Amino acid sequence: MRYVAPKEATVPDRRSPIDLLPAASREWGRIEPPSDQPRWGMVVDTERCIGCWSCAVICKSENNVPLGAWWNRILTEGEGLDLPTTEHGSEEMSWTPLACQMCENPPCVKVCPVQATYVRDDGVVMMDNERCIGCRYCMIACPYGVRTFNWGTPQRPNGLETGMVAERPIGTVEKCTFCVHRLEEGQVPSCVVSCPAGARIFGDLNDPDSRVSRLIRDREGRMLLEDRGTRPKVRYLPARRRRGL
Amino acid sequence: MSAQARSGPVGRGVTERVGRVDPLLAWIGFLLVVMAVGFATWIYQVTNGLGVTNLRNTVMWGQYILFFMFFVGLSAGGLIVASAGRLFGVTRFAPIVRLAVLEATVAVMLAAIFLLPDIGRPERLWHLFRYPNLTSPMIWDIAIVTAYFALSVTYVWLYTRADLAAARSPLALGTGDTPAGRERDDRWKDALAWIALPAAVLLHSITAWIFGLQISRGFWYSAIMAPMFVASALVSGVALVIILALILRRFGRLSFDDGLVSFLGGLLAAFISVEAFLVLAEVLTAAYPGVEFEGDPMARMLTGQFAPLFWFEVSVGLALPFFMLARRSWRASPRMVAAAAGIAIVGIYVHRLNLVLNGLSVAPIGLPPGVSIGTAQNGASFAMSHFYVPSLVEWLIVAGVLAGGALLFTLAVRWLPLRPAGH
């Protein structure tokens, strides 16, 4: 069976908001020159993450995500939100920012009965919300719990839609897309551009000299839940030193 | 003349009229009302979204999937009784075999219908046939449910065709009742039994694999899921056939002796013991190492949040009916067998409830604040776990589907010759 490509989303005929940015901002978000066949990946430096939720909040506004749903969230390594753990008598804090892990072996794609979730040539795991029947099997299959269902009419704090992406139909599943609409403009995902600590790095995993490839090599970028064999393209750099409070 | 005396005859007339209402019609009317309410509730759910249920991103499958699994299991009785009887030459099932295949047909149909309210975009159901993903256990399950339904309908027709033809019913599809025709039916029944028995085993296994192949859910990811689904299907399926057979005997639609009830009771006890063995094997394997894994669903089941459900399942659902049926003299009583069968069905329902809810009760990864709930009605966006109780909407829709099944079964019992010639 051949995968039938979904209809491309139609982009309204208007100037890209990226072009409206100041040159310095545009430059800050530019993806480093990729290889001929890029395979996008992300590195999260847990040593740098300060648990501020900037990436989670900008994700919501960039992608028009309604109230109650989050494509990106920050897990605290501890007993409660922003509570420290005590190890060998010293208190420590660390966080695990979590969004779609863009698995090389994605369980969600395997179980979707209608091929509504699929892998693009550049490795991005995508959703076709016009095909999704809303069975939520992908949410069962995802070991990271990063998918969210549209349970009703989307609610927004002031009733206004935000960001650069059309809202998804009721009764379908949605998730992080690596901001594919920004990738098309040569810009990194909005969580990467917004991180005040520079804890997120985006780039081409097919290029052995890209910053992400070097960081994964040099600092042994870990996969989350590696034992499940999902082989994520999002890698986590372990902290090199303890961060006592 | 007092007012009371004058009103007397009028009152009696009303009573007589009420008394004359055909109980069958009243029953059908009641079912139609429940179906209409269920259908209207479903329209309400489709319009407003699945947020009207108590499902959320934390527990995203609930009542509907539970009833899907449960009815897949209930459909086991029919084809097992029909095809095992044929393959292994067990002739004593003959008086109830038509009822059994009818029960399987209605149950598997209801199972398929229960998938409808579960999906968010029912109008896109045709995508399943247009863009099927062959690696998805859900596609395998839809294929086997469809095949099983087709087999069951064929069986019902093969078993009743000759009698329908003799009665010149249009349901005989224009065929006649001849000795050669009856012989041909028998040959077909024998041939189909070879497909029907493996199909029944596959039906329950594939339904189990929807859950059991998911490495993301430690509680489900186990090779014992398929055998356990087959065992629990046999328990609930045979139990339902027993109960329906006794009800129809009371209404004079079937006739068989108590020996058959006792035999089925013994069979049920055997199936219950297999189910209990598999539950023991599962729990022991998971609990013995004492390793906390995935928020430790086994501890939640044995001593935690789900302990009441689990111990109810073990004591009332498995042990009690087993002992009620264990002694030959006890299971000689049809009342005892019927009671044990009813309890066993409740036990299997609780077993499946436990399976679905416990498997989903803890957020993946298990670090705070958990997963996003999906709606913001309580001001909170995240939850580590979620105690799921079905909403009124879910109950009304389930009641509607059940009423539809009961209606179909009632009409089939009314119009199909369930009693084989010679019984």
Q: How far is CA A186 from the centre of its chain?
A: 16
Q: What pLDDT is recorded for position A198?
A: 96
Say yes or no: B141 contacts chain A, CB-CB below 8 A.
no
Q: Considering the domain boundaries, does residue B7 fall inside one?
A: no
Do the chains contact at B50 and A134, CB–CB below 8 Å? yes
Which H or E element spans position B298? helix B297-302
Contacts of B131 in chain A (CB under 8 A): 4, 114-116, 131
Instruction: Please compute the mean of the pLDDT values over residues B347-371 and round it to a whole number.
Output: 92
pLDDT value at B366 more than 90: no
Q: What pLDDT is recorded for position B96?
A: 92
Amino acid at position B24, single letter: L
Q: Considering the domain boundaries, does residue B13 fall inside one?
A: no
The owner of tokens 């939640």 is B300
Question: Could you give the 3-state DSSP secondary structure of residue B290?
Answer: coil
Do the chains contact at A135 and B371, CB–CB below 8 Å? no
Q: Which residues neighbour A133 within 8 Å (Cβ) at sequence distance 6 or greater?
A: A113, A114, A116, B119, B120, B121, B122, B124, B125, B127, B128
Contacts of B221 in chain A (CB under 8 A): none
Q: What pLDDT is recorded for position A4?
A: 62
Q: Cα–Cα–Cα angle for B45, B50, B56, nearest 5°?
A: 155
Do the chains contact at B365 and A98, CB–CB below 8 Å? yes
Give residue B6's pLDDT band: very low, low, confident or very high (50, 70, 90): very low
How far is A85 from chain B, CA to nearest CA, in Å?
12
pLDDT value at B44 more than 70: yes
How far is B115 from chain A, CA to nearest CA, in Å?
9
CA distance A10 to A28: 27
Give residue B422's pLDDT band: very low, low, confident or very high (50, 70, 90): low
Write out the residue range of the structural domain in which residue B315 sits.
Answer: 24-369+386-415
How far is A26 from chain B, CA to nearest CA, in Å?
31
Q: Which residue of B has its CA nearest to A111?
A: B136
Q: A16 or B11, which is more confident? A: A16
Q: What pLDDT is recorded for position B378?
A: 72
Residues lower than pLDDT 70 in chain A: 1-14
Q: Which of B44, B46, B55, B57 to mutate to test the interface with A (most CBs of A within 10 A)?
A: B57
Q: What pLDDT is recorded for position B286?
A: 86
Q: Considering the domain boundaries, does residue B162 fall inside one?
A: yes
CA distance B148 to B106: 11
Do the chains contact at B120 and A135, CB–CB below 8 Å? yes
Residues B274 and B347 sit within 8 Å (Cβ to Cβ): no
Q: Considering the domain boundaries, does residue B420 fall inside one?
A: no
Length of chain B in terms of residues written: 423
Q: What is the pLDDT of residues B150-207, one digit of tens each?
A: 999 999 999 999 899 988 888 888 888 889 999 999 999 989 988 998 999 999 999 9
Which H or E element spans position B176? none
| Inter-chain CB pairs, A–B, below 8 Å | 177
Contacts of A172 in chain B (CB under 8 A): 120-121
Q: What pLDDT is recorded for position B295?
A: 63
Q: What pLDDT is recorded for position B371?
A: 95
Q: What pLDDT is recorded for position B38?
A: 98
Q: Which of residues 375-404 of B touch A (CB under 8 A)?
A: 375-377, 381-382
Q: Is A145 left (phi over 0), alpha (psi -120 to 50) or beta?
A: left
Q: Out of B119, B135, B377, whose CB is closest to A133?
A: B119
Q: What pLDDT is recorded for position B423?
A: 44
Q: What is the pLDDT of residues B58-107, one digit of tens each?
A: 999 999 999 999 999 999 877 777 788 788 888 888 899 999 999 999 99
CA distance A69 to A65: 6
DSSP A28-72: HTBPPPP-SS--EEEEEETTT-----HHHHHHHHHTTPPTT--SS
Residues B231 and B278 sit within 8 Å (Cβ to Cβ): yes
Domains of chain A: 59-237 (3.30.70.20)
Q: What is the pLDDT of residues A139-173, one digit of tens each?
A: 999 999 999 999 999 999 888 999 889 999 999 99
CA distance B279 to B269: 15
Q: Which of residues 227-286 of B touch A (CB under 8 A)?
A: none
What's the structural domain count of chain B?
1
Mean confidence (pLDDT) of chain B: 90
3-state DSSP of A139-156: HHHCCCCCCEECCCCCCC
Q: What pLDDT is recorded for position A109?
A: 98
How far is B303 from chain A, CA to nearest CA, in Å?
22
Q: Considering the domain boundaries, does residue B248 fall inside one?
A: yes
How far is B180 from chain A, CA to nearest CA, in Å?
45
Q: Considering the domain boundaries, does residue B29 fall inside one?
A: yes
Q: Considering the domain boundaries, does residue B267 fall inside one?
A: yes
Contacts of A152 in chain B (CB under 8 A): 48-52, 375
Task: Identify the burial level of A8 via C-beta atoms within 10 angstroms of its C-beta, where 0-12 means exposed, 13-18 middle and 19 or more buried.
Answer: exposed
Do the chains contact at B367 and A96, CB–CB below 8 Å? yes
The two beta strands, A234-237 and A40-45, are: parallel
Q: Considering the domain boundaries, does residue B251 fall inside one?
A: yes
Which H or E element spans position A128? none
Q: What is the pLDDT of residues B281-305, one digit of tens each?
A: 999 988 888 777 656 788 888 888 8
CATH number of the CATH domain containing B131:
1.20.1630.10
DSSP B304-365: STTHHHHHHIIIIIIIHHHHHHHSTTTTTSHHHHHHHHHHHHHHHHHHHHHHHHHHHSB-SS
Which two three-digit tokens encode residue B3? 């007012």
Q: Which residue of A has its CA nearest to B119?
A: A135
Closest CA to B157 of B140, B174, B180: B174
